[in-house]
Amino acid sequence: MNEINNLALLSTLIAATLSAGTPLLLAGLGLLVNERAGVVNLGAEGMMLLAAVAGFALALATGSDVLALAGGALAGALAALLFGVFAIYLNTNQYATGLALSLLGGGLSAFVGIDYVSRNLPRLPLTGIPWLSDLPWFGPALFRQHWAVYLALLLALLIGVFLQRSRAGLALRAVGESPESAHALGLPVRRVRLAAVCFGGACCGLAGAYLSVIYTPMWVEGMVAGRGWIALALTPFATWRASRVVIGAYLFGGVTLLQFHLQSIGVEISSALLSMLPYLATILVLALISRNPVWIQRNMPASLGRPFTPGQ
């Protein structure tokens, strides 16, 4: 009897970790691509918030999660386009511009979202993957999830292959390592960077819409709650490798859940203190990972954060 209970608990834990890790994975992968092209976008949190409210509005209006997530991705990409034009073409400071996007995204999403506060979306029934989700043991936990969970994993695989095995991926990395050499080779450095930034925005947008439409599902001001910043910490954690972003995202997803599980097994700690865990874990991991400069710099794009103007 006890074994069945343990199995059920472990099943729930796996299912919840997959779900909680998905927004971090989506956003982390997007940021990985745009950092590999040499651009740091500190606007992740703002893009996710804008996409969260856009996705929520679309879901409420159409009832379709496909449209909602696509709309979220579009909103994220448009926000990233604004950042990209500033940081890449006008050569504004990348940190300042990203911060501006985070502040604007926070303000604008709160303003637009005021009518959506305390509106409810129906929770979608999860159909899961036929046959596989009927497997015993962890079948339902692993295979009866929203399709975006699998989309995120597929994206990780595709981005990994793209960056390490494709010619276009090589070009993108060249732009991030040495824009001067890439330019001399005839690569359109600024266009590659803009495309990478918009892709990053679209992924952050997917992540934001996933949060408001599938994960919660509701809209509250500031509901992304720092996940954009945690996703930014994922790229150094993963030393800019797609496979390690997957590990990091589920690890942090698991930590966000820890508070619920600790409470459910009767740990007497206030929920506010337990809610600190993901942020403290991020700080701890950043500190540990940054201690070793060789490790961190092995895959770090050499021109990360450096602007480039052709002909100068």
Partner 1 sequence: MLLEPMRSQLGVWRIERRPAATAWMRWASPLLALLLTAVIAAMLFAMLGKNPWQGLAVFFVEPLRNAYALSELALKATPLMLCALGLAIGFRANVWNIGAEGQFLLGAICAGWVALLDLASLGSVGLISLLLLAGMLGGMAWAGIVAWLRDRCNANEILVSLMLVYVAQLLLAWLVYGPMKDPAGFNFPQTPRFSAASVLPKLIEGTRLHIGFVVALLAALAAWLFMFRARAGHALQVAGLAPQAARYAGYSARRALWTSLLISGAAAGLAGAFEAAGPLRQLTPYVSAGYGFAAIIVAFVGRLHPLGIVLASLLLSMFFIGGELAQSRLGLPNALSGVFQGVLLFSLLACDALILYRLRRVV
Residue 56 within binding range of partner 1, rule CB under 8 A: no
- Rounded-to-integer distance, Cα 114 and Cα 222, Å: 12
Nearer to partner 1, 160 or 278 (CB): 278
Tokens for 161, please give them: 């292959």
Query: Pick from 181, 191, 275, 298: which binds partner 1 (CB under 8 A)?
Result: 275
Q: Determine the 3-state secondary structure of 38 from DSSP.
A: coil
> Least Å distance between CB 226 and partner 1?
5
Residue 273 within binding range of partner 1, rule CB under 8 A: yes
Query: Pick from 221, 247, 258, 261: which binds partner 1 (CB under 8 A)?
Result: 221
> Least Å distance between CB 115 and partner 1?
9
Burial of 273 (0-12, 13-18, 19+ CB in 10 A): exposed
Neighbours of 59 (CB within 10 A): 27
Residue 207 Cα distances to 183, 233, 308, angstroms = 33, 16, 29
Instruction: Find the part of the chain contacting partner 1 (CB under 8 A) among 64-72, 156-164, 247-255, 271-279.
Output: 271-279
- Rounded-to-integer distance, Cα 292 and Cα 236, Å: 12
Query: Pick from 7, 177, 226, 239: which binds partner 1 (CB under 8 A)?
Result: 226
- Rounded-to-integer distance, Cα 44 and Cα 200, Å: 9
Residue 305 within binding range of partner 1, rule CB under 8 A: no
Query: Pick from 132, 157, 288, 302: which binds partner 1 (CB under 8 A)?
Result: 288
Instruction: Find the part of the chain contacting partner 1 (CB under 8 A) among 15-23, 27-35, 167-175, 290-298.
Output: 290-298
Residue 267 within binding range of partner 1, rule CB under 8 A: no
- Rounded-to-integer distance, Cα 262 and Cα 13, Å: 12
Q: Which residues, 6+ apart, have CB-to-CB distance to 228 below 8 Å?
A: 27, 43, 44, 45, 46, 47, 48, 49, 102, 204
Nearer to partner 1, 83 or 162 (CB): 83
Tokens for 41, please give them: 């976008």
The 93-122 contact track toward partner 1, x by CB under 8 A, reads: x-xxx-xxx-xxxxxx-xx--x--------
Q: Are 195 and 74 in contact (CB under 8 A)?
A: no
Q: Which residues bind partner 1 (CB under 8 A)?
A: 42, 82, 86, 89-93, 95-97, 99-101, 103-108, 110-111, 114, 221, 225-226, 229-230, 232-233, 236, 270, 272-273, 275-276, 279-280, 282-283, 286-288, 290-291, 293
